[in-house]
């Protein structure tokens, strides 16, 4: 009886371990990278969320890197293809950027608040100055009013 139970347990375990889980996977050829969905199809001509990151695929299905302008803004994609833009917490889609110039700040975007805190944008009178190269600048003040203007108070003002 013990042998029968052992044989049955071994058979069940063998069948369980033999099941292949189908999931999407990344593939590469001489042209670039693409993603094959678990049903064998490929994302094309748009954004797709894969493992909590957004990727852009061209009309032939290849992953793109760099900056691309869409109807709702600019989107940056790293060398690994992941979108650099923070996500909108209402739509769970990447927010268009980079923005440049004085932009009204509502305080609602967590990513913008983080940028203000780490100095990659300059805040002044409930507006902020943003530049795609802002991360290279150092912000000295983030107060609305200073008693006297300080030379280079806003490092971005002198950018060319």
Work out the percent of the chain whose per-residue pLDDT is above 70.
Answer: 39
Q: What pLDDT, in 10s, does the model give residues 43-94?
A: 999 888 898 888 999 999 999 998 887 776 777 888 899 887 766 655 555 6
Nearest CA to 88 out of 68, 106, 64 is that of 106
Nearest C-alpha neighbor of 43 from the set 21, 64, 58, 65: 58
Which H/E stretch holds residue 15? helix 2-17
pLDDT (average), residues 105-114: 56
Domains of the chain, earliest start first: 24-85 (2.10.270.10), 98-160 (no CATH)
More confident residue, 97 or 80: 80
**Residue positions counted in the chain:** 160
Q: What is the distance between the alpha carbons of residues 105 and 84, in angstroms, rounded to a whole number?
A: 20
Q: Which residue has the higher pLDDT, 11 or 89?
A: 11
The CA distance from 85 to 59, in Å, is: 22
């Amino acid at each position: 009886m013990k042998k029968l139970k052992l044989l049955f347990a071994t058979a069940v375990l063998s069948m369980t371990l033999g099941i292949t889980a189908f999931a999407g996977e990344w593939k590469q050829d001489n042209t670039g990278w693409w993603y094959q969905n678990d049903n064998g199809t490929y994302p094309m001509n748009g954004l797709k969320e894969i493992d909590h990151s957004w990727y852009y695929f061209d009309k032939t299905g290849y992953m793109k890197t760099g900056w691309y302008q869409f109807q709702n803004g600019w989107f940056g994609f790293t060398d690994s293809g992941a979108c650099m833009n923070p996500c909108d917490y209402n739509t769970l889609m990447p927010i268009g950027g980079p923005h440049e110039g004085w932009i009204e700040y509502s305080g609602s975007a967590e990513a913008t608040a983080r940028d203000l805190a780490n100095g990659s944008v300059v805040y002044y009178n409930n507006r902020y100055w943003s530049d795609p190269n802002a991360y290279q600048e150092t912000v000295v003040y983030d107060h609305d009013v200073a008693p006297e203007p300080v030379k280079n108070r806003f490092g971005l003002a002198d950018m060319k």
